[in-house]
Amino acid sequence: MIKTKSFAAQEPTSILAPFDIQRRDPGADDVQIEILYCGVCHSDLHTARNEWKGTLYPCVPGHEIVGRVVAVGDKVKNFKVGDLAGVGCLVDSCGHCHSCVEGEEQYCENGFTGTYNGPLFGGENTYGGYSQTIVVKESFVLRIRHNEKVLASVAPLLCAGITTYSPLRRWGAGPGKQVGIVGLGGLGHMGVKLAHAMGAHVTLFTTSPGKIEDGKRLGADEVCVSTDPDQMAARATQLDLIINTVAASHDLDAYLSLLKRDGTMILVGAPAEPHPSPNVFNLILKRRNLAGSLIGGIHETQEMLDFCAQHGTVSDIETIPVQYINTAYERMLKSDVKYRFVIDMATLA
């Protein structure tokens, strides 16, 4: 076993603090990665505080992991010691259900194994990226083709990037499409960058007037302050698709009304409290769709990383020492992140 320093929450109300965990010794199919950077996702906070229920403690969050390969098993073909590598939200799945066979491991019928908080349908806990090292099956390890100089800014692509890329691709974001992105946080800022890189016309919806300029710099063609009824009304029936990243319960009708006939709003934000039910007529009268989407499969995550490497796309980050994590969580709750915290894991030593 490999003794590993980490930061963990011991119960829903405790702050995150230093904690020693054990990693398995790499098996024949395993890659061991020294973690250099780990992004801070709002899901980490939801889980550490048991907001979605079912958190296993101790809880070591972190599923936006980048680092360097330090050991590989005998059967590992595609990674060698010294390579850069990434790990996202998944570290295993059954491998034989129809979702796994179709490369959609995140929808594994038998429950994927999360990078932290263990198998979806019960089983042993797993510990995430707020730690020094991780051992992962080769088939769940991603290749990083960005320049190593921007490695810290690549970390958030492993969750915020794929969670917005996957629905943008599935619902056909591209030239001629009017795409709305709701919320300019970690996911939202990647949604803006990626939809822009795909060639769509992008409208950002934010509750924070102070983010207008950043929204435009990041790639939005238009920014709408969603708390202003006039700005919202001016956009009624304009959009083909909306990616909603908001991490709190809110009125969905305000956004559904902005969809054209047959338009779709995809919920990726996963608030602890349910949204109020949308007005059925708002859907029926324009055959509008309300959908959800969960991260992305391993193959699509690699496709997204390569797309970003080609387009020079990375996340806008604020690098923090691990000891700052509890303050970072409080700032995230105030929508005060520009636009992803990334932990420099050297600070854990």
Residue ranges in contact with ligand NAP by CB under 6 A: 41-43, 46, 159-160, 163, 183-188, 206-208, 211, 245-248, 250, 268-271, 293-295, 332, 335, 337
Nearer to Zn ion, 159 or 242 (CB): 159
d(CA 307, CA 296): 14
Mask of contacts with Zn ion, 137-166, x by CB under 5 A?
A: ----------------------x-------
- Residue among 224, 222, 172 at smallest CA distance from 198: 172
Residue 247 binding partner per list Zn ion, ligand NAP, none, with a CB distance cut-off of 5 to 8 Å that depends on partner kind: ligand NAP
268 binds Zn ion (CB under 5 A): no
Beta bridge partners of 59: 9
Contacts of residue 308, defined as CB under 8 A and 6 or more positions apart, other chains included, come to 146, 154, 157, 161, 194, 314
43 binds Zn ion (CB under 5 A): yes
Contact criterion met (CB below 8 Å) for 99 and 121: no
What spatial distance separates the first Cα and last Cα of the chain, rounded to whole Å?
18
41 binds Zn ion (CB under 5 A): yes
- Give least dist CB 226 to ligand NAP, A: 7
Nearer to ligand NAP, 46 or 169 (CB): 46
- Give least dist CB 166 to ligand NAP, A: 8
Helices (H), the chain: 42-48, 98-101, 151-154, 160-170, 186-197, 212-218, 229-233, 253-256, 280-284, 298-311, 325-333
Q: Residues touching Zn ion: how many (CB under 5 A)?
A: 3
Residue 192 structure tokens: 């803006």
99 binds Zn ion (CB under 5 A): no
Residue 279 binding partner per list Zn ion, ligand NAP, none, with a CB distance cut-off of 5 to 8 Å that depends on partner kind: none
Unique residue bearing structure tokens 């594994």: 108
38 binds Zn ion (CB under 5 A): no
Question: What residue ranges bind Zn ion (CB under 5 A)?
Answer: 41, 43, 159
